Structure 1
Amino acid sequence: MKVECNLFEPFIKEVLSYYPLPNEVLDKFIEILQVKHIKKGEYLLKQNIVPTSYAYIINGLFSYFHTYENGDEVIKKFFAENSFIASTAALIEQKPSLFSIQALENSKILVYKRKKYKDLIIQHPELAIFQINYLEKNWVIAKEPLEINLKHISAKMRYKTFSEENRHLQNRLKQHQIASYLGITPTQLSRIKKNLLL
């Protein structure tokens, strides 16, 4: 491979976990990546803006959330290290995003423009298989249990499931952020945590 750099190793490993791309394609993929530093509180994307890029998180933590007209925020997902992050539907449709993406920590990411990536897919159709596999796993298969759980299980069970599946994030998130993700108030979350300790 032409590019030998520790910076890209986690990215390459993650890409290859979805599809075994040849070295030539990986090299060209790496060539369109740009390293970007985002400070805590800064936005990678703001709601109602048409996104132009995908990103991969080298280190850091982001929230993916929607803000309603009354100011209420609902966090749909948290993204940490070794994750791809984007307002996927808005990128595909080239429409204003329904979601904002904000850094919860100082973060380092790899950014690649939608246009350059689409051009690369046309040149190397193997990349389309990687993209399909990624979308199926993260935006189809992973989405169904969440939709069922939000409607049919208690807030207590939602919190227990979240805690078990996101142990690595527990000390990196604030109470109100977890509550927003679970669709409850911080007061309800405090009550649930107290009951679990009894």
Structure 2
Amino acid sequence: MPGLPPQLINTAFASLRKTLNSYYPLSNCTWEAFRSICRCREIEKGVPLYSAGEVPTTFSYVYRGLFRIYVMDERGNEYNKNFFPEGRFPGAMAALLKGEPSRFTIDALEDSIIIEIDHQGYRQLLNTFDDLKRYHIQ
């Protein structure tokens, strides 16, 4: 799959910044540090963003598309827990915080564009930037 055009990447990051700032305004310095721990990528419909049984290292921002988070029982029945439309942040947060395999799968219901955010980098930035702390609290 070819890379995303720079203009689309810039637009996706502008959308992310607008979303973050709607909770608490981030300084340019904080924003640049935050952006450095992110990468923009495409996810095709039906492809898992995060899979059950794997230890996640990132969470994401949905710029374009739709995702669902679900759990599967021992018989193979799927149970939806939540949906993540554009502007939301899908991730297996409990697994990220504990460093454990996720019980959930998050997959794309549409061809999508996401910004992946490195969780460890994010936690380090929280210790550095007070405005990011305030965003996180909000």
Q: CA deviation at 1:129?
A: 2.3
Q: In 2, distance between residues paired with 1:99 and 1:29?
A: 26
SS in 1 for 2:25: coil
TM-score of the superposed pair, with normalisation by structure 2: 0.88
Residue 102 of structure 2 aligns with which residue? 97
Q: Is structure 2 residue 42 aligned with structure 1 residue 37?
A: yes
Q: In 1, distance between residues paired with 2:123 and 2:32?
A: 16
The residue type paired with residue 111 of structure 1 is E
TM-score of the superposed pair, with normalisation by structure 1: 0.62
SS in 1 for 2:71: strand
Q: Is structure 2 residue 32 aligned with structure 1 residue 27?
A: yes
More helix by share: 1
1:91-135: CA deviations, max 9, x gaps? 1111111110001111100001111111211221332222232xx
Q: In 1, distance between residues paired with 2:131 and 2:48?
A: 32
The residue type paired with residue 66 of structure 2 is L
Q: CA deviation at 1:36?
A: 1.1
Residue 86 of structure 2 aligns with which residue? 81
SS in 1 for 2:127: helix
Which one of the candidate residues 62, 67, 70 is aligned to 2:72? 67
The residue type paired with residue 124 of structure 2 is D
The residue type paired with residue 23 of structure 2 is Y
SS in 1 for 2:23: coil
Q: In 2, distance between residues paired with 1:70 and 1:131?
A: 38
Unaligned runs of 5+ residues in structure 2 are: 1-9
More strand by share: 2
Over aligned residues, Cα RMSD in angstroms? 1.2
Unaligned runs of 5+ residues in structure 1 are: 134-198
Which one of the candidate residues 11, 28, 46 is aligned to 1:6? 11
Q: In 2, distance between residues paired with 1:86 and 1:29?
A: 17
Q: In 2, distance between residues paired with 1:41 and 1:6?
A: 24
Alpha-carbon spacing, 1:36–1:90, altered in 2? closer, same or farther (3 Å): same
SS in 1 for 2:53: coil
